[in-house]
Structure 1
Amino acid sequence: MRRPLNALAGLTLGSALLVGAVPASSAAERKAGPEGYADVLDMHGVPANALPAEVNEVNVFSDRGAWHAYALPRPGDKDAYGGFSGPLYIAQEYPWWLSKAFSRIRLRADGRDLDLGAAGAPRLTALPGMLRQVYDLPGLRLTLELRFASGHSALVRASVANTGTGPRTVEVGWSGSLLRPDDEPMKSAPSLHATARGVAVGFARVREQWDYLTDGTERFEVTHADPVRTTVTGDSYRTDLARPLTLAPRGSSELTWAESYTFTAAERQREAAAVRDLLRRPGKAIGDTDARWRRYVEAVTADVPAGRRRLAVKALETLVTNWRGPAGRLDHGGITPSISYKWFTGGFWAWDTWKQAVGVAGFDPALAQSQIRSMFDHQITADSRDRPQDAGMIPDCLFYNDPARGGGNWNERNTKPPLAAWAVWETYRRSGDVRFLREMYPKLVAYHDWWYRTRDHDHDGLAEYGATVDPANDTPEARRQAAAWESGMDNAPRFDAALGTTAVENRDAAGRVVGYSLNQESVDLNSYLAAEKGYLAAIAQRLGDRAASRRLTAQARTLTAAIRTRMYDPATGYFYDTDLASGRRLTDRGRGIEGAIPLWAGVASGPQAAAVRGRLTDPEEFATPMPFATVSKSSPYFAPEKYWRGPVWLDQAYFSLEGLRRYGYRADASVLADRLRGSASGLLGDGPIMENYNPLTGAPLNSTNFSWSAALLLALD
C-alpha cells in the first residue's frame, strides 16, 4: 500500500543496500574493528608518470579533507619498498603525482644497506583510516603506518624492532625524487629544497586553466620529529637521521614525520604549528584517528549482515578519500565526485552533494552538514551584480577557482535537480540538530521558489529544466545543452535536439528574460519538487511554522495530482515528460529511468505504481542482467555504454529500489538489489565503486571511486 504523501518527510531511507552473501565472520569482524576490513579496495600501485591517465588507475587513500593522497607499492615493486606511493597532489583542480614514493625509508646495519625485499614479500595492507607496510628482515622488523592527522598533514610512523637476541645499531635515512610533468610550464613548477627538519617542494605560479593551477604559494613539506640532515641533488634528496638507533634485544624505536600539503602562506603557518604539536604527541593523534575510524566502521556496519559489511566499508573509504577541506573559493569542506578522475577531482556538484550527504550522514553528520553548506555558501542572492534574477539558485558546480580567478570548471549556466531539502532532512534525522534545520530552511525555500519563478514557462505549476541568463548560454543550442546538464542526465534521448528539444525564453512581469526552459515538462523534476515540498513541510512543522507546513503540504497534493493526470500514460503503463505547448506525453522518445522517480517521491497512485513495477521488473525493459538501465532495453535509443543512454547509475537504481519498497514491492526490490550488487564488476571484490556500469554485462564504465554511488549504497535499505 502506498504511504500517504505527508509521511514522506519521515521516511527512513535505511542503512545499506548490501544484500547478498559474501561469507565473513561476524564475530571476528566485530572483535577486530577496522583491522577486520583489510584491503576492501585494492590500493596497490606505483605511478609511472607525473600526469595520471584521465581516469587514474591507482586507487588512493586520503582523509580529513586533505588535498593529497597515497597508495601502497605492489608486492614485487621493490624500487618503491619503504615508501608510500605518491603523493598524488591536487594542483587546485587537477591531480598530479609528485613522486613514485617521495619518502622512502632506508636502513643500514652492520656496515651495509638492508634490502627491504630480500626476506620475501612484505605485507602491504590498506585498512580503514590507515596504510600499513611490514618488512621482516634478518633480525629486524620494520613497520610503517600512514594516517592523516589533519586536513593538511599525513602522519607517518616507522617502528624498527630488534627481533634478535643481541643489541643492534641501525642507521636510518630517507630518499626520494620528483616526478616532473613532461610539458612546460608544469614541468618547471616543482622545486626541491632542504629544510632544517626535512625537505620541501615549492611550486611556481602556473595558470593552465585545463591542466594545472598554482599560485606560487603551494608547498609540500616533510617534517621529521627527530634531528636530521638533508642534501638535495637536482630532483633527488637524501635525508639522514642525525644519530643511529640503538636497539636492545627485543626492543624497538619509533620515528615519526609529517607530510603536509598547503596552498597558501597562511595555511602553511597554521599547519606548521599543528605539525609541531603532532610530532610532540603523535600517540594522541594516532589514537584520535583510530577512534574516529572505529566509529565510522561501526556506524556503516551496524545492523548490516556480515556478508555485506566489506562493501559498506569500501563505500565509506571511497567517500572519505573524496573529502576535500575548505580551500580557495570552497568555503566549507565537501566531497568531490572522484579524486580518480581529472575533471571530478577539485570541485563540488549540487546534486552529487545532496546524494552524498544522505550517505555521509549515517557515519559523520557534521561532514554531511559541511558539504551541504559548501553549496549554499554560493547561493545566488538578490544583490548579485551579475544575476539578481536568480536569487535563490544553487550553481551547478563549484571549484577552487571561480571565473574571476581564471577557473574554467565553475558553472552557473544551470543548477541541478532539487534534492537539497531531502539531504537536509536526512542529515537532521541522523544528527537531531534543529539549529541546522533553522539555518537551512529559508535558504531551501528560496531555492524552491526560484524553480517556479524561472523554470515554469506557462505558470501551470509544472516546471521545466532550463538554463540561466549567462554569457555562455548565448545560442539556442548552448541553452539546450545547459538545460540537459541541469537535469543531470546530459545526453539522455529525451533531450535530443533531433527529437525536437529546444529552449524557450522565460520572462518576468516587466518582460525581462529571467531564464530559459526546455520545451518539455520533465517528470523527474516535478516528482523531485513534490518530494521537496513534503520535506519542507516537515521542516516547517519541526520549526513550529504550522501554517507554512500546511501550505506546502497542500501544494504537494496539487502537484501530485498534476503528475498523475498529465505525465502518466495508461496505454504504456509508464511516466513520461510532456510537451510544453500541447501537453502531449513524449512516449515516442522511449522509456527512461526517470519514469520511476514518481514511485520514490510517492506521487504515483497505487495502480500506476503497479504498472511501473511491471516495467522495472521486466528483463526486456529495466530488469537487465545488471538492473536499472537508464534507458529501457526496449527503447530504440538504448546504448549500454553511452553515459545516460543505457548504463546503470547507482543513484537511479537507489531511487527505483526505494520506490518499489515504498509501494510494498519489497521482495522485488530485494531480488533486484541482490542482482545489482552481484553483477557489478568488482563491487563485491576489491575493485573500485564505479560511476556507472554496462547493464548487459556489469562491466565498469567511466570514473572509478565515485562518491554518489558509494553514498547511496550506504543509504539503500
Structure 2
Amino acid sequence: MFRWRTALAAITVGAAVLPSPPAVASESSGNEAASPYADVLDLQGVPTSALPGSAGGDVSDINVFADRGAWHAYALPKAGDTASYGAFTGPLYLAQEYPWWLSAGFSRLNLSEAGHPINLADARDPAFSSLPGALRQSFEVDGLRVVMELRYASNRTALVQATVENAGQRSRSISAGWSGTLLRPDAGPEHDAPRLSATKDGVAVGFAKVRETNDYLTDGTERFQVAHADPVTTTVTGDTYTTTNDAPLVLGPHGRRTLNWTESYTFTPAEAAADAPAARRALAQPWRTVAEDDARWHGYVAAATHGVPPDRRRLAVKSAETLITNWRSAAGALKHDGITPAISNKWFNGLWAWDTWKQAVGTAVFDPALAESQIRSMFDYQVTAASATRPQDAGMIPDAVFYNDPAHGGGNWNERNSKPPLASWAVWSVYQRNGDLGFLREMYPKLAAYHAWWYRNRDHDHNGLAEYGATVDPANATAENKRLAAAWESGMDNAPRFDAKLGATVVDNTSPTGQVVGSSLAQESVDLNSYLVMDKKTLAQIADRLGDRRAAQAYRASAASVAAAVQRTMFDPATGWFYDTELGTGRRLTARGKGIEGVIPLWAGVATPGQAAAARKNLLSPNEFDTRVPFPTTSASSPYYQPTGYWRGAVWLDHAYFALAGLQRYGYGADSAALAGQLRSNAAGMLGNGPLMENYNPATGAPMNSRGFSWSAAMLLALEHPQRT
C-alpha cells in the first residue's frame, strides 16, 4: 500500500505528493479516511440525461466539484452503480450561461490482460471520495489496485490520473483504454450542438453555434478536449468513442504506472491557446501540478478552520468548497473572476451584485485576492456619466451581469434595478483580511459614487431616507414593471411589504430639470436605510484610512442623522419591531407583518439599546422568529407566513447572519450563540454531508431550492470569522 508524504504536514487535506520522475506521476494511499475533511459533501451521482435536474427541473440533483474558476465540473460515480465505475461523472459544462451534462462519464477507464477484460465492477469494496481540491475513486480487483484522481490544473483544464499497481509477485502486461458516450440534449438546435472527433492525442467535442437565449448559448467556437500523456489511438463511432494506449502497462511485482490525461473546456480558440501551456505542463510534470494544488488547498483549509471549534471545522471546509466550485473565471463579458450563486441552478450562472458583496466577505477568509476580483467583477459595469443609455444613473451598479451582455443576446443581464448597498462593507471586510491599501484607494471613489447615486435617484422627497426603486429602462415600461424591479432591487423579491395586493405602489423620481431619472416604491425601507447608515460608517473608516478626514467627518455626521431618523420613524414600540414607512405620511406599514428586514438596524448599529432589547424578544419568540430553524423571512405570527415561501418564510443565511451579528453587537452573545447552534443543527444536512442550500424551511428544516448556494457558504464562514465593525 502506498503512502502519501505531505508537503504541509499540519493538516491532511487530500492527496499531497512529492516530486517524482515522469514515469510515475503521483502516489496515493487510497486511504480516504486519512483526511479529516473527506466527503464533507456527498458528490456521488450519475445523470441519465443531458438536462440537469429531476424531471427536467431547473435545479440539478447532483452535487459537483469545480476549481480555479473552470467552466466545467465533475462528480463521483454512485456506489452500486457499477456501470459508472472508472469514470468521473460528467463533465457538467456551461453553455455560456446554462449547465448541461456532456456525458454520464466521458472518460471511463478500461483495463484488460491478454484480451480478457478486468472489470472494475468486480472490485472488492470500491471507494469513492471527495477531498478538498480533488475527487478520488479506488478499486482492488484481479490482483490490481487502481486509484484515480481528478483535480484542476488551470481555469480551463482538469488533470486526471489513474495509478495501476500490481499487488502480486508475477509480472503483468495490462492494456489500458478509455471510452465514453455523449449525452445529447433531447430536442431543438441544442440537440445537434455537440459533435465528437478523434485527435492525435485523444478525443474532442466541438459545439455548433446555438443561440437559444433561455436554454443554450454557444458560438460554435467552444471545445472540450481530452489529451493523453502517452501515445494513444482513438476511434469515433457516432456519439461513442474508444481510445487505447498504444503500449501496454508492464508491471513488475508490486510495480505501478500512472496514466495522465487532461480534460479542457474552452470557449474560444484564444482561450485554448492561452491555456495550452498549463495543460501541457500538467501532462509533462503532473507531480508538480498536484503538489502546487495541494499546497493551495492546505492554505484554504487552514484559513477556513483557524480558530473554529472542532465540531464545526468540516462545515467551514464545506463552505470553502462550495464557494470554490461556484468560482467562474473571466470569460465572455465577465472581465474578472467572480463567484456565481450556484452552478446547480439553470438561472444562477452569472454574477449578482449583493450576492457578490456577501460572497466576497466569506471568500476573503481564505482567499482575499479572489474576493477582490469578485468585487471588481461588478464594478467593471458601474455606470458612468459617459454612458450612452443611462447617464442619469452614474454610480449605479447593475443587478446582474452574465457571459452575454444584451448586445450579444444575453437574456439574463439586468440593469433595470440595482441591489442593496453592501459594497463598502465587502471592500472593508477584504481589507481587514489582507491590508491591501491599494485596493482601498482603487475602490474608494467608486464606492462614493455608488453611495451618492442612492440619494440622487432613490430619495423621492429628498428627506434623507431612500427607497428601493427601478431605473429608466425599456423593461420598466409599466407601473407593475417598476414595482417588480423595485422589489428585485431589495433582493427580497416577493416579501409581503412589496406586494401590490397589500398596497405597494411606485412613484417617478425627477432631476432638478424635470427629467425622470428612475422610480421609487412609495415607501421608505428600513433595511435600505440601515444599510446606507452602515455604508456611511464604512466609507468614513475608508476615508480615515486614506487620510481624507473631512470626508470621514461628513459621512459620520450623515450616518448619525439617518440613524436618528430610522429610530424615530421606523420603530414601532407597540410590537417592538422595525418596519418600512409610507412615503409622504410616514405611517409605519405594520399591517404587512413583521419581516426579517427588521433586524438590519441591529446589524448596522442603528437601533437604540431599548429598541434592540425589544427586537431581541421577537427574535427569541417561537411565535415570531425563533422557529425550528430560526429567522424566517416573515415572522411566524404574520398572516402572510408561508414556510416554503421564497421571501415569505424561508430561512436565508444572509439574514440569519445579520440577526446573529446584530444580537452580538448589542451584547446578547449567549442568545446569538444558541440560535446559531440551533440553525446549524436543525437545517437539514448542514452538519452532515448535505449541500448548503439556498434556503431552508423554518418549520421543518427541510432544504429548499438551489444546492450549493454561495452566500449561504459565505455567511457561515463570516459567522466563524467575525471582524471588527
Tell me the TM-score normalised to structure 2 length. 0.94
**What is the alpha-carbon distance in structure 2 between the residues aligned to residue 115 and residue 141 of structure 1?**
12
Deviations 1:418-443 (A, max 9, x none): 00000000001001100000000000
Q: Indicate which of 203, 206, 211 corresponds to 1:207.
A: 211
What are the within-5 Å matches in structure 2 for residues 33-44 of structure 1? 33-34=13-14, 35-44=35-44
Matched residue SS, 1:230:
strand
Q: Does 1:462 align with 2:442?
A: no
Deviations 1:360-392 (A, max 9, x none): 000000000000000000000110000000000
Match of 1:571 in 2: 574
Letter matched to residue 676 of structure 1: L
Deviations 1:162-201 (A, max 9, x none): 1101111111101101001110201100010000100000
List structure 1 segments (4+ residues) > 6 angstroms apart after TM superposition. Answer: none
Match of 1:138 in 2: 142
- Tell me if structure 2 keeps the 8 A contact 1:43–1:61: yes
**What is the alpha-carbon distance in structure 1 between the residues aligned to residue 125 and residue 98 of structure 2?**
34
Letter matched to residue 456 of structure 1: D
Match of 2:448 in 1: 445
**What is the alpha-carbon distance in structure 2 between the residues aligned to residue 709 and residue 289 of structure 1?**
25
- Tell me if structure 2 keeps the 8 A contact 1:418–1:448: yes
- Tell me if structure 2 keeps the 8 A contact 1:106–1:175: yes
Matched residue SS, 2:12:
helix
Match of 2:12 in 1: 32
Letter matched to residue 221 of structure 1: Q
What are the within-5 Å matches in structure 2 for residues 192-591 of structure 1? 192-344=196-348, 346-591=349-594
Deviation at 1:120, TM superposition (A): 2.4
Letter matched to residue 453 of structure 2: W
**What is the alpha-carbon distance in structure 2 between the residues aligned to residue 367 and residue 614 of structure 1?**
39
Identity of aligned residues (%): 64
Q: Indicate which of 68, 71, 74 corresponds to 1:67.
A: 71
Match of 1:16 in 2: none
- Tell me if structure 1 keeps the 8 A contact 2:13–2:131: no
- Tell me if structure 1 keeps the 8 A contact 2:193–2:210: yes
Q: Does 1:51 align with 2:55?
A: no
**What is the alpha-carbon distance in structure 2 between the residues aligned to residue 422 and residue 299 of structure 1?**
21
**What is the alpha-carbon distance in structure 2 between the residues aligned to residue 607 and residue 118 of structure 1?**
68
Matched residue SS, 2:366:
coil
Matched residue SS, 2:242:
strand
**What is the alpha-carbon distance in structure 2 between the residues aligned to residue 123 and residue 74 of structure 1?**
10
Match of 1:668 in 2: 671
Q: Indicate which of 633, 636, 639 corresponds to 1:636.
A: 639
- Tell me if structure 2 keeps the 8 A contact 1:75–1:121: no
Match of 1:185 in 2: 189
**What is the alpha-carbon distance in structure 2 between the residues aligned to residue 350 and residue 255 of structure 1?**
43
Matched residue SS, 1:370:
helix
**What is the alpha-carbon distance in structure 2 between the residues aligned to residue 395 and residue 160 of structure 1?**
52
Deviation at 1:121, TM superposition (A): 3.2
- Tell me if structure 2 keeps the 8 A contact 1:398–1:409: yes
Deviation at 1:33, TM superposition (A): 3.5
Match of 2:27 in 1: none
**What is the alpha-carbon distance in structure 1 between the residues aligned to residue 130 and residue 10 of structure 2?**
18
Letter matched to residue 573 of structure 1: G
What are the within-5 Å matches in structure 2 for residues 94-133 of structure 1? 94-133=98-137
Match of 1:21 in 2: none
Choose 114-123 or 547-556, whichever is displaced more: 114-123
Letter matched to residue 49 of structure 1: S
**What is the alpha-carbon distance in structure 2 between the residues aligned to residue 622 and residue 234 of structure 1?**
58
Deviation at 1:498, TM superposition (A): 1.3
- Tell me if structure 1 keeps the 8 A contact 2:692–2:712: yes
**What is the alpha-carbon distance in structure 1 between the residues aligned to residue 711 and residue 281 of structure 2?**
35
- Tell me if structure 1 keeps the 8 A contact 2:11–2:298: no
Choose 275-284 or 227-236, whichever is displaced more: 275-284
**What is the alpha-carbon distance in structure 2 between the residues aligned to residue 588 and residue 76 of structure 1?**
55
Alignment RMSD, CA only?
1.0
Aligned residue pair count: 689
Letter matched to residue 464 of structure 1: E
Q: Indicate which of 138, 155, 158 corresponds to 2:159.
A: 155
- Tell me if structure 2 keeps the 8 A contact 1:76–1:121: no
Letter matched to residue 404 of structure 2: N
- Tell me if structure 2 keeps the 8 A contact 1:204–1:216: yes
Letter matched to residue 664 of structure 1: G
**What is the alpha-carbon distance in structure 2 between the residues aligned to residue 58 and residue 294 of structure 1?**
26
Deviation at 1:119, TM superposition (A): 2.7
Match of 1:24 in 2: none
Match of 1:608 in 2: 611
Q: Does 1:699 align with 2:679?
A: no
Choose 518-527 or 32-41, whichever is displaced more: 32-41
Matched residue SS, 2:705:
strand
Deviation at 1:31, TM superposition (A): 4.7
Matched residue SS, 1:318:
helix
Matched residue SS, 1:33:
coil
Matched residue SS, 2:43:
coil
Letter matched to residue 134 of structure 2: M
Alignment gaps of 5+ in structure 1: 1-28
**What is the alpha-carbon distance in structure 1 between the residues aligned to residue 249 and residue 352 of structure 2?**
50
Deviations 1:15-39 (A, max 9, x none): xxxxxxxxxxxxxx96533422111
Deviation at 1:590, TM superposition (A): 0.7
**What is the alpha-carbon distance in structure 2 between the residues aligned to residue 253 and residue 195 of structure 1?**
24
Letter matched to residue 135 of structure 2: L
**What is the alpha-carbon distance in structure 2 between the residues aligned to residue 380 and residue 157 of structure 1?**
46
**What is the alpha-carbon distance in structure 2 between the residues aligned to residue 459 and residue 31 of structure 1?**
56
Matched residue SS, 2:713:
helix
Matched residue SS, 2:610:
helix
Deviations 1:667-703 (A, max 9, x none): 1111111111111011111111111111111111111
- Tell me if structure 1 keeps the 8 A contact 2:83–2:121: no
- Tell me if structure 2 keeps the 8 A contact 1:597–1:659: yes
**What is the alpha-carbon distance in structure 2 between the residues aligned to residue 632 and residue 101 of structure 1?**
46
- Tell me if structure 1 keeps the 8 A contact 2:395–2:452: yes
